Structure 1
């Protein structure tokens, strides 16, 4: 996967828009970060992943999921895009999008 692949997935959902965060390309929902490209240009910073789930992901798929000391205390996992598939990334994006989008947008999306 690439960040462009991630963009294509997310921009199909209501209220998602391109932006930047910490000087890197990002996707935002109502001005809140959905995900962003990490400075290394191969990792997706994926918020909304509880730390206990993150630990399990890192343990079970360390080539795809990881985190650095900087993110240790946050509900964020890093995803190596070059090692990830759409089937791996999309559920995390969708879950976080649902938590950020308006109830109306989610309801309308679910109805289609």
Structure 2
């Protein structure tokens, strides 16, 4: 009986001694706005493109936004190496699993566009 009581007392004393650490930090807002006086024309294609992207396992771990960004980059590279995709839309296909869902593919549609005629305005 004494051994059971000692064992129970030991278990209670070990489990009740938990260590909780907290720390604080002070932050200050820094004005980090960046302005540029450079302007450019945007030449948008008349043809709407569609591209289906199949992410790798490592990319899926980074999340849906990361996969969409990679899909847009691949679509632009595949279709004339444009600078930006105008009116971008996406459709993601997921496979439901027991513990969450897995991104199978992402289809990106939009109009590729290229920046042209960069103009730097001078200060007077």
Normalising by structure 1, what TM-score? Answer: 0.25
Higher helix share: 1
Higher strand share: 2
Rg comparison, structure with higher value: 2
Normalising by structure 2, what TM-score? Answer: 0.23
